[in-house]
Structure 1
Amino acid sequence: MTTTDAENRLKCDDRVWLWNVNLAWELFSSAVYNYRMALNSSKEHQRHSFFKTVILSSVTAVEAYFNEVLAKEEGWSEGDLQKKKWSEKVTALGIDFSQERFFKSKFIRNNFIVHHKRIDYRYFVEINQWTALEAIESSQDIVAEVSYRRDRIFPYWITGLNFINPQHSNDISLLNDYEFWCRFKWLGLSQIVSQMISPTGTITAPKNKDIYDSLYKELWQKLKECNFKLDVLYNARDKRFPLMPFLTSEWWVIDPPIDFDGYYEAFGIKPKP
């Protein structure tokens, strides 16, 4: 569907979803959070509950992302999104879908979480740390694939990082992708990132698929290796603006104090006693 077709559809169909919120982001964030919680829990029943939420949220995040793209960019109405099959949505998005890991995650979601097939079962061996991790990583790959085929950078939240807003009780806050990659450019961690960010506010995504994928895969791997405590992110915080949203790998867990000492130090003034 062309841009003009989509605009015409919006004018004549008040049932087109406008997506003023981002359900895919919230679901994926929930998946990563619950995965982190599971790793830090020593109680097996609690870990099982966390892993169950990881799989449920990861798979549903992909479905929500598909619906978001089809609604926003292809002009699909609510009726279209409800009636069309999964295979039709994949075709409409123009991706060559051969994700065995995701199909496995979706099978577990459907058969052991949403639609129970066994009687009097609460715990399932199919739900564990490895299937939960596969659900997250296969979801990352699919969202990135859709974005790559549309010649744009993937949404930053699939990296496993989030902005949190000190002004809103440190809740996660959805900012734009340019803001995210600018923070990384300031850190000087990646030459690729430095090359793809322009002063005009645009992001030029790498054309090479391996390089493109490495932007989220390497960062995600680093998060796993450091148990989701990427302290280097604090170097990107500006002490002059203590209430400005900042990146962290520990959102929904930490309650960082506002660094007023750093704020006053930056301006060379001292607070009144």
Structure 2
Amino acid sequence: MSGLGEVWMWNVDPVWSHHASMIKESILSTESCDDFSRHHHLMGCLYFGIGVIESFLNKMMRNVMENELTSEDEIFKHLRKTSFNVKKMKWPSVICGREVHIPDMYMSTIDSCNVLRGEITHPKRRDHSIYRDLEEVGPAAFAEAVTCFIVYIYQEKEEVFPYWLLGWNCVGMNGDVACMELSNNLNGFVWSLARMGLLEVPAGGHLSEIWEKEYMTSISGYSAIKSRLDSYPEDIEPFNSIGNIPFPRLTKRWWDRNYILSKTPDAFRSRRVFS
């Protein structure tokens, strides 16, 4: 695999995309009003959740192998040929350079849901018991297990995890108040927390960097921030703008354009500031 003809795009990332889709499907499965829709969203949650783990592990292992000056052909072969279970069990310790212990409650949830995902993808049963098993899936617990699996690896690497693992995303790309965008921790997320009244230090500067290292490098920090966000009375950050330019906003319903527009002043609902 050579570098010739490679394609790079703005506002895309496989891990982010899979994670956001998993969270969305998890929530929509609980809001569905009929069996077909609920099963559809539960299946989607399983598909995207396993995709989160594999895309994340592939990305991290690629970084390790690139740092070791491994050829692209060998990297691609290793990522492609290694089974999901081997990646899940063996790769975290390779990625972190030391043993990683992820709690059994998360690993068992991921394992059981992965088996179910395989059965859904390649159905073999005589009866319809697969739908009974699907109904027994706890989508929120599965999504939390997947997310915590990743946070534990960031913790062992002593690196900052991205804000979107908390289940909230930014909207407002190119002035479209409902267009989802991939932001970052210090130039986006902490400013949103400050506008929501959830940040105890000033956004920007050295203090917010200290806050990020304290809260966004560990499973305990993840839990603390998530608790604050879960208790927030709205599903979206208050609207703010500079003149006719709206600020990007943090929301946990980034896919729901009607909801976002309902929380947006009329003058900003139907236009893009930038082309």
| Cα deviations by residue, 1:25-76 (Å, 9 ceiling, x for unpaired) | 1111111112222222211221111111111111211111111122235427
Q: Is the 8 A contact 1:18 1:72 kept in 2?
A: no
Residue 90 of structure 1 aligns with which residue?
A: 92
Residues 184, 169 of structure 1: alpha-carbon distance in 2 compared, 3 angstrom cutoff: closer
* Structure 1 residues 92-128: Cα deviation after superposition (integer angstroms, max 9, x where no partner): 1232244222222222222x32232313538522213
Question: How is 1:176-215 mapped onto 2 (pairs within 5 angstroms)?
Answer: 176-178=184-186, 179-191=188-200, 194=201, 199=205, 202=209, 204-206=212-214, 209=218, 211-215=220-224
Structure 1 counterpart of 2:238? 234
Identity of aligned residues (%): 15
User: If the length of structure 2 is used for normalisation, what is the TM-score?
Assistant: 0.72
2-structure distance, mates of 1:73, 1:238 = 41
Residue matched to 2:29: 38
Gap regions ≥5 residues in structure 2: 269-275
Cα–Cα, structure 1 residues 57 and 241, in superposed 2: closer, same or farther, change >3 Å?
farther
How far 1:220 sits from its partner (Å)? 6.1
Cα–Cα, structure 1 residues 146 and 172, in superposed 2: closer, same or farther, change >3 Å?
Answer: same
How many residue pairs are counted as aligned between the two chains? 241
- Name 2:54's counterpart in structure 1: 63
1:110-166 deviation per Cα after TM superposition (whole angstroms, max 9, x unaligned) = 2x3223231353852221374322220101101111111222222111111111135
Aligned to 1:159: 166
Over 3 Å counting, the alpha-carbon distance change for 1:82 and 1:97 in structure 2 is farther
Structure 1 stretch displaced more, 155-164 or 78-87:
78-87
Kindly indicate whether residue 147 of structure 2 is the aligned counterpart of residue 132 of structure 1: no
Mark the runs of 5 or more structure 1 residues left unpaired by the alignment. Answer: 1-11, 263-273
The aligned counterpart of 1:7 is none
User: Aligned partner of 1:117: which letter?
Assistant: K
**Deviations along 1:150-189, whole A, 9 cap, x unmatched?**
2222211111111113545833211112221232134332
- Which amino acid counterpart does residue 162 of structure 2 have in structure 1? P
Root mean square deviation, CA, Å: 3.4
**Mapped partners of 2:230, 2:196: distance in 1:** 18
Is residue 117 of structure 2 the alignment partner of residue 113 of structure 1? no
Q: Which residue of 2 aligns with 1:150?
A: 157
Distance apart, 1:238 and its partner CA? 2.9
AA aligned opposite 1:238: S
Query: Hey, what does 1:172 align to over in structure 2?
Result: 180
Partner Cα separation in structure 2 for residue 55 and residue 92 of structure 1: 26
Residue 81 of structure 1 corresponds to which residue in structure 2? Answer: 79
Q: TM-score, normalised by structure 1?
A: 0.73
Instruction: Measure, in 1, the Cα distance between the counterparts of 2:140 and 2:109.
Output: 10
Distance in 2 separating the partners of 1:253 and 1:244:
18
